[in-house]
Amino acid sequence: MSPLRIVEEARRKGIHMIAVTDHNACDNVVYAKRIGDRMGVKVLPGMELQTEEEVHLLAYFEALEVALSFREVVYQYLPDVKNNPDYFGDQVVVDEEENVVGFEEKLLLNSLSLSLDQCVQMVRDFGGLPIPAHVDRGSFGVIGQLGFIPDRLAFEAVEVSRATSLAEALKTWPELSQYTLLSFSDAHFPGDIGAVCTAFYMESPTFDEVVRCIRGEGERRVRIEYLVPLRSRES
């Protein structure tokens, strides 16, 4: 799944805006963003952090440079364990022409030595938007790991995986109604890109407008759209 392949797939499916959120990493966003700028697909820089409680937290940033400096800080909290490509595959960085331009040596699937609370604070300190990922999932979701979403973290939005409809999620966890609910494809293969989308009714495809949509400012709002209907996906 190279940056070029990702952006091409998004464009083919008519998706105007994507976020690339590698696990505890950010290097591929550099190239995805260049390709996106060329092809007219807006690429939001981000990361998926794995906290010490094994909670997955999405972090989005307005500017690539900010995301990269955030990554530098977070990297220090990634345990110094080397990746073994025989088990986990190579952790590659791929450029616009699909050349492998780098390998990440540290094992990215580890947890950071940072608590969820610390991660949320750090993302906000960098002006970013923290969103707990796939809260409906038993593993790596905040509810599964921590029993419930701590109020004090004051999330504005949470993400529900494409395995669960919003109606089902709200029935199981009524407390989710206090958040703006988003759903993203969490695509690990090109074919999964856009399997579920969140439509942002915004003035322009910018980070700032995404935040304003989540807050429901003015006429702005979000709506979940399934390119592949939930039911038919099961068969």
Partner 1 sequence: MRLKDIIEGLGLKVLAQGDVDREVNWAYTSDLLSDVMAGAQPGDLWLTIQKHMNIVAVAKLKDLTGIVLAKGIRPSEEVVAKAEKEGIPLLISEYPLFEVCGRLYELLKEEG
Least separation in angstroms between residue 168's CB and partner 1 is: 17
Query: In this complex, which beta carbon is closest to partner 1, that of residue 40 or of residue 150?
Result: 150
Interacting residues toward partner 1 by CB under 8 A: 53, 115-117, 138, 143-148, 150, 152
Q: Which tokens hold the place of 7? A: 């952006």
Query: In this complex, which beta carbon is closest to partner 1, that of residue 31 or of residue 140?
Result: 140
Q: What are phi and psi of 143, to 5 degrees?
A: -70, -40
Least separation in angstroms between residue 163's CB and partner 1 is: 16
Least separation in angstroms between residue 117's CB and partner 1 is: 7
Query: In this complex, which beta carbon is closest to partner 1, that of residue 75 or of residue 173?
Result: 173
Distance CA 71, CA 104 (A): 13
Least separation in angstroms between residue 231's CB and partner 1 is: 27
Query: In this complex, which beta carbon is closest to partner 1, that of residue 53 or of residue 95?
Result: 53
